[in-house]
Chain A
Amino acid sequence: MITEHATQVVSRLAAEGVTVGYGGRAVIDNLDVVIPPGVITTIIGPNGCGKSTLLRALSRLLKPSKGTVVLDGEDIAKLKTRDVAKKLGLLPQAPIAPEGLTVADLVARGRHPHQSWLRQWSSDDAAVVTRALAMTGVSDLAGRPVDALSGGQRQRVWISMTLAQGTDLLLLDEPITYLDLAHAIDVIDLVDDLHESGCTVVMVLHDLNLATRYSDNLIVMREGAILAQGHPRDVITPELLHEAFGLSARVIDDPVSDRPLIVPIGRTHVQL
């Protein structure tokens, strides 16, 4: 229990009694959650359950009407926008870049929180951006316009920008939606690399099997509340899948990893 206690103490990001929504309508009501440091946490749940809303509240994009989000021991609402940006990198759903902007220029924007009117491009900035490009494997694309890239490459570039922010806390909202499976694996492997290099990652995913495979901590939501949280091996059961998604499925051992594998049972093509 000592280790669990230690985890509680050094947790960087947590929500305490948070009620949040859009224009007076609460999507999430009185929710508590602690993001464990150093691991990949993935928020899953059916459409409209408040996954993205929770992520947006954690990243300060949405201001809770009640409760607080705590970042490194401080109320995130009381921190300066700029100071939050130095600690927490955020990649929203489907961001868009101006037509013709090059990869290098896009990634360089990630340095904004560290820059000032006079100090707009230091040698530090250049070094960090060069490293971010290399880590995400897009150095060769540096001079290309972002709009000329494939969906997977583009997502790598955006992650590279978030990385150039130099934070070890990354919040990614559906980073692999709209990508084909091969590119999705490619991008999520990259996220895993970042985790290996020491980042705490919180993301929202739709694909349950990828969430199970790649996360160490799953947060399962339904109707604005957390149904279950923990390691995929402990959390993913046929009962939970039925309760959260109304999905009937079998959970079997993944033949290529030590994680569970969800096999959905539809109405047709089933030979039981």
Chain B
Amino acid sequence: MNERTVAPGVRLGRASFVWRPWMMVVTLLLTAAAFVVFCWSIAVGDFPLGLPQVIATIFGQGERVDEFVVMDLRMPRALAGLIVGIALGVSGAITQSIARNPLASPDILGITGGASAVAVFLVTVSGGAAATIVSSVGLSAAALAGGLGTGLLVYFLAWRRGIDGLRLILIGISVSAVMEAITAWLLVSADIRDVARAQAWLVGSLDSRSWSEIWVALWCMLALMAVVAYIAFHLKPMHFGDEVAAGLGVRYSMVRAVLLLCAVLLAGVAVSAAGPVPFVALVAPQVAMRLTRHPTPPLVASGLVGALLLIGADLVARTALPVSLPVGVVTAAIGGPFLIYLLVRANLRRGM
């Protein structure tokens, strides 16, 4: 009997895990890459800094001037990119795992559609109530509430003695389409100056983030990640469908409800911090799967790819092009072709 037929294990005290060297290497490389791009995005600007300077400053070894530029001026934007990227990547990985469909993403669950519709409504409808809402809770928070409400609506509409992946996607697409129609109608009928303001919100952007906003997003993201990390152990059998999962002792309705709620909230954190950034949640898990050669979306790697994609896109948006573009435009432009490249490469390999 060959002992190498099953995966080797690694033990740390009472804990034991499956040893997957390739997954480990890729995850470490992605972490390193995300850190470098993070520092690089801080280094670039009107007052350019060197990478070593940035890293030294982050670890508290920098000069006073550098510290002001790095920590006060540029860190919030870079951190926003990191948080939004991780949140979208993990949210996408969860959604695709639960729906067991690579085309699923939180966008499809109606979160971005709902958030956009509410945001545009509040910006374009100049009335007493709208103005009161915006001034009291802020546009981001109101949009977040709209997104979460729509996510819950999709979940309950898709519920029929349990959640079926395909049904969830179909309902999600329908509800998103309704939300987009509402958004379009609002944009057409509104005053042109309001439309310009609404459009600025509609293409995701990392511009003008403040430390207070970042702290809220960061803590929300960390709390949600803790829940996801705890319950992710039960996600593994769920890739085989409800019945096999139940046979393996998983309370699948509960696990799925908690994970989907986390996915919706993570996407909500992302939307409230940067507006609707398209494509990251869809592409990041697929890229992570192919890089790690894992059959299902790996959560950690998906988050890291999301961060890499988002910060990288923001960097490109600010530097490579003559006009400064919102990050959302670039994520689609980078992510799409890269996914196509991975798919084509896989097809070629299978064809040979």
Contact = CB atoms under 8 A, between A and B. Distances in A.
- The interface size bin for chain B is 35 or more
B5 A142 contact: yes
B9 A23 contact: no
Contacts of B18: 108, 120-121
A80 B15 CA distance: 24
Interface residues of A, number: 54
B197 interface: no
A121 B237 contact: no
B233 A120 contact: yes
Contacts, number: 121
Contacts of A23: 161
B345 interface: no
A121 B16 contact: yes
B249 A113 contact: yes
A116 B231 CA distance: 11
A61 B249 CA distance: 11
Contacts of A88: 247
8 contacts: A96-B240, A96-B241, A101-B295, A112-B250, A142-B6, A143-B5, A162-B247, A165-B247
Contacts of A80: 249
Nearest to A96: B241
Contact of B243 (A22, A85, A92, A117): A92
A242 interface: no
Contacts of B240: 95-98, 109
Contacts of B293: 100
Contacts of B248: 85, 109-110, 112-113, 165
Nearest to B2: A139
A211 interface: no
Contacts of A100: 293, 295
A120 B7 contact: no
Contacts of B6: 104, 107-108, 126, 129-130, 133, 142
A134 interface: yes
Interface in A82-139: 82-86, 88-92, 95-102, 104-105, 107-110, 112-113, 115-123, 125-126, 129-130, 133-134, 139
A23 B159 CA distance: 13
Interface in B216-270: 230, 233, 236-237, 239-241, 243-244, 246-251
Contact of B7 (A81, A96, A105, A118): A105
A51 interface: no
Interface string B170-183: 00000000000000
B3 interface: yes
Contact of A139 (B1, B10, B17): B1
Nearest to B17: A120
A89 B247 contact: yes
A95 B16 CA distance: 28
Nearest to A105: B7
Nearest to A120: B17
Contacts of A143: 5
Given A95-B243, A105-B295, A130-B5, 18 more contacts: A82-B249, A85-B249, A92-B247, A95-B240, A100-B293, A109-B236, A112-B248, A112-B250, A120-B16, A120-B17, A121-B16, A121-B18, A126-B9, A139-B5, A142-B5, A142-B6, A162-B247, A165-B247
B349 interface: no
Given A60-B246, A98-B295, A122 B9 contact: yes
B244 A119 contact: no
Given A112-B236, A112-B237, A121-B18, A81 B249 contact: yes
Interface in B312-332: none
A134 B249 contact: no
A113 B296 CA distance: 20
